[in-house]
Chain A
């Protein structure tokens, strides 16, 4: 399964509520994320980071001996890995501060277990997509590291735009991605007026990944809203 390599990633959980740490750990464990280390304060987190060498960290903002923002800066000094904030502080300025410092995502408590798993998976996918051996689709496989599609024993290269679009779809595999999000992924900010170009690119991607492009099974259109990439097992 293509997610297996993500589930081996080492994740550091930092929260001053021991019960919450236990719960988040069980949620992650249940989904197959088994390399989890926990810490209840900044000091313990820094020690754990030295020994455990995490590949992702989930941090609370309010900690007894400091705050999650400064902890993130200290952790990022040592190694660059994705950070997800999981906090009760839902104020706009807190979120902006978190994202401004380089956080990959920000979840405000209370949260649904499914939401947490989705966000963690999406972050890991985005950060470690080049390590993924192959993404299996119904009629083909995608190699993101080489930006190629394997179909019927043939290697088909992806263009830069096709790669960007497929990356955005893959990060949200199994979920609808809006037309606007896809345009933004391919053309950057202010991506308005590209709807026709997007349709043309989607058509070309289908020709590369679908067994029968006229009856797509992996890249599905949700009329008026966007597209959904269905990977094997999703």
Chain B
């Protein structure tokens, strides 16, 4: 099944695209967060600014109102620890009571890395002391241990790539494990559907993820097979029925033809009676031809007629048919002209001799059936464009263009489910077409150059390959 690898390629493509988009999205999201987090540097910066802004006067330290308002707005408290005394010498008014006013070195280290009483603190240094800002308790989370192995930081790009690679590999592994199970179930089902389309009997194992689907396909296949079998049985029954009827009608028709033939030639009978016998004989012959045609046509239709092709000389086949008709046409009402000048001595084709004889015979018979007053029949075989062209033409009444178009385009009533009243032509030409189809040939119906009707049969020349 060619579509399964295509399906796999499609899924892998989708997965790769998804991974790529996901990574891109993550990088974008990270970048956005980083951008937003950039102001996080501001507590340190603000502390530094506040330290620089603090002014020392004779009366002590004062913070300009602008900076003071900024701290107040953000609910920040501030203390200034003098270097020499390690005492808080200045603080804002909103300083919580729990904040100590004297510090030692450990306290300074602690407030730098951690918190004072849960308040995240940020120091800003100046020459004579340290300004410490205390932010509201839930405003910042401080990283207490801001140190990494040097090698870890040095190899961070490689480490990141390895981590991403491992992630992608794990995703692929999970994907393959899950999809291989699906594909294992899909493969036989896909094969089954394709086989069903080719008319084969399908039996898919009803196990795995898609067991219900497999069961459905098995049921559908069984229904299709059963319907095909029924259809074939009906076709066989129809063909056999036609064969049976045609068999049963042959003996009585023999009697009609036999006695009519004798009466026609009985000199003791009045001429009128002989002519009537002649009509009975002619019509009986038509019935005989119809029976034969119906039987053969139904067999060709249902592929019950064996075709035994072999290398044959089309000239010999057509010549024999023409001679058989000439030998029977005692009254010479339908003289047959073998167009010798255009005929090669041999024209090799690959076909069933009996069926091809039947096709040519039907065409000559057709000329006779449609020209009761008699006509000349012209038969020829020639080679054109790697094809053997057998032509049977007459100079009889011919047919109008509309009828010719109908013959060429409309299906025969035997295989047509509509408008059968308007197309009562015989089976002769249909058989010719069927025989040509079984030989990969073609029958072309046209007006003859001598005013009547003509049929050209096109068959591929034998090329040495069967």
Contacts and interface: CB of A to CB of B under 8 A. Distances in A.
Contacts of A113: 257-258, 261-262
Nearest to A223: B340
Interface stretch (B49-57, B229-237, B246-254): B246-254
Interface in B281-298: 281, 284-285, 288, 292, 295
Contacts of B285: 112
Given A223-B338, A223-B340, A225-B338, A111 B257 contact: yes
B313 interface: yes
B338 A112 contact: no
A145 B345 CA distance: 34
B346 A192 contact: yes
A41 to B, nearest CB: 16
A136 B258 CA distance: 31
B323 A178 contact: yes
Contacts of A223: 338, 340
A180 B338 CA distance: 15
Contacts of A26: 262
A93 to B, nearest CB: 8
A122 B258 CA distance: 19
B399 interface: no
A114 interface: yes
A225 B251 CA distance: 34
Q: Which one of B253, B254, B258, B259 has the greatest number of beta carbons of chain A within 10 Å?
A: B254
Contacts of A134: none
A92 interface: yes
A7 interface: no
B261 A114 contact: yes
A180 B312 CA distance: 12
Size category, B interface: 35 or more
Interface string B270-285: 0000000000010011
A110 B288 CA distance: 7
Contacts of A215: none
A175 B329 CA distance: 11
A24 B255 CA distance: 9
A26 B326 CA distance: 27
Contacts of B256: 110
Contacts of A19: 255
Interface stretch (B86-94, B176-184, B314-322, B419-427): B314-322
B254 A110 contact: yes
Given A26-B262, A30-B262, A178 B257 contact: no
A50 interface: no
B320 A181 contact: yes
Contacts of A24: 258
Interface string B103-125: 00000000000000000000000
B343 interface: yes
Interface string B182-193: 000000000000
B261 A178 contact: no
A156 interface: no
Contact of A180 (B248, B250, B261, B313): B313
Contacts of A178: 316, 319-320, 323
Contacts of B251: 17, 20, 88, 109-110
B250 A110 contact: yes
Q: Is the interface of A mostly helix, strand, loop or mixed?
A: mixed
A110 B313 CA distance: 30
A90 interface: yes
A27 interface: yes
Contact of B254 (A20, A30, A92): A20
A26 B261 CA distance: 11
Nearest to B258: A23
B250 to A, nearest CB: 4
Contacts, number: 91
B257 to A, nearest CB: 5
Contacts of B281: 112
B36 to A, nearest CB: 93
A224 interface: yes
Contacts of A109: 250-251, 253-254
B354 interface: yes
Contacts of A225: 319, 322-323, 326, 338
Contact of B250 (A27, A108, A224): A108
Contacts of A195: 345
B377 to A, nearest CB: 13
Nearest to A16: B251
B306 interface: yes
Interface string B125-155: 0000000000000000000000000000000
Contacts of A20: 251, 254-255, 258
A110 B284 contact: yes
B257 A110 contact: yes
A176 B254 contact: no
Q: Which one of A19, A88, A89, A177 has the greatest number of beta carbons of chain B within 10 Å?
A: A88
Contact of B313 (A27, A108, A192): A192
A168 interface: no
A42 interface: no
A79 to B, nearest CB: 28
A223 B313 CA distance: 18
A226 B254 contact: no
Contacts of B306: 92
Contacts of A23: 254-255, 258-259
A179 interface: yes
B327 interface: yes
Contacts of A180: 313, 316, 319-320
Interface string A191-224: 0110100000000000000000000000000111
9 contacts: A27-B261, A30-B262, A88-B250, A110-B284, A178-B316, A179-B319, A180-B313, A193-B345, A225-B319
Interface of B: 247-248, 250-251, 253-259, 261-262, 281, 284-285, 288, 292, 295, 306, 313, 316, 319-320, 322-323, 326-327, 338-340, 343, 345-346, 354
Given A110-B257, A111-B257, A180-B319, 4 more contacts: A88-B250, A92-B354, A110-B251, A113-B261
Interface of A: 17, 19-20, 23-24, 26-27, 30, 88-90, 92, 108-114, 175-181, 192-193, 195, 222-226
Please name the 3 residue pairs, one residue from A and one from B, whose CB atoms are nearest each other, closest first: A224-B340, A88-B250, A109-B250
